[in-house]
Amino acid sequence: MLISQGYGVDVEFYPWARAVREAELGKADILFPEYFIDDSAKSDNVPNKTRNEVLALSAPIPGGDLSLITLKDNNIQYDGSLNSIKNEVIGVVRAYKNTIELDKFIDNNQIATIVVNNEFQLARLLLSKRVTLIVADLDSLLASVDKSPMSANQKQIINSSLVALKPSLEYKYLHYSVSKKKANWRSILQAIDSKIETMNKERTFEQQIKESSRRCK
């Protein structure tokens, strides 16, 4: 995305809450992957600021379905409404922005949650039955499990045990989020958006998705 345009890139992986902090405070130039952030969402680290006042979102790129995920043998009576699952205990990732409606339920204590640092921990919460539901993109979650140090047998158990409830909460596009603490943030954002525009015109994302789907079959 940036290397082809002459930028040097150093990628570091952190728990999501720390990754957000690094970007909001200007210790990192870019946060990725990020969901769309509503203008009302408050910064987690800069007092009296919204996240969009300290970070700038790029143009969107293809993402995936954010869903309620459960074990296949759980009998969850979900009808597409959050009211139908408000008596369940749900696992969420710290500092994630989910959907506006779900985050309001959580903020108003209308749904009980257990908060963890990453999606791999979400899967462990569910398997240990400390929660009945977790909020994640199932494909992203399974990719996190696949990269974990778990044994092949444990990974297979997780792959065969989880199911995403229908309908999904929301299809979520992904964005790069550029720290406005950096003096050159506008040029970085412009470079990212320019590359995204080119990749859309060349249908690069579409080809990548098709190739990924073939590998998963």
Which of 63-77, 107-121, 147-161 is least confident? Answer: 147-161
Mean pLDDT, range 60-79, rounded to an integer = 95
What are the beta bridge partners of residue 30?
Answer: 178
Report the b/e string of 44-54 with b at 16+ CB within 10 A.
ebbeeeebbeb
24 neighbors 178 (Cβ within 8 angstroms) = no
Question: What is the C-alpha to C-alpha distance for residues 29 and 174, in angstroms, rounded to an integer?
Answer: 17
- For 102, the 3-state DSSP assignment is helix
Contact 135, 36 (CB under 8 A): no
105/103 Cα distance (integer angstroms): 5
80-101: average pLDDT? 94
Residue 120: predicted pLDDT: 86
The crossing angle, in degrees rounded to 10, of helices 119-127 and 152-161 is 80
Task: Look at residue 19 and tell me whether its pLDDT is greater than 90.
Answer: yes
For residue 206, is pLDDT > 60? yes
pLDDT in tens, 144-175: 888 888 889 988 988 999 999 999 999 999 99
Q: Which domains does the chain have, with CATH numbers?
A: 3-62+172-216 (3.40.190.10), 64-170 (3.40.190.10)
pLDDT at 1 over 80: no
- CA distances (Å), 42 to each of 33, 116, 153, in order? 18, 20, 41
Please tell me the predicted confidence (pLDDT) of residue 213: 61
* Model pLDDT, residue 215: 56
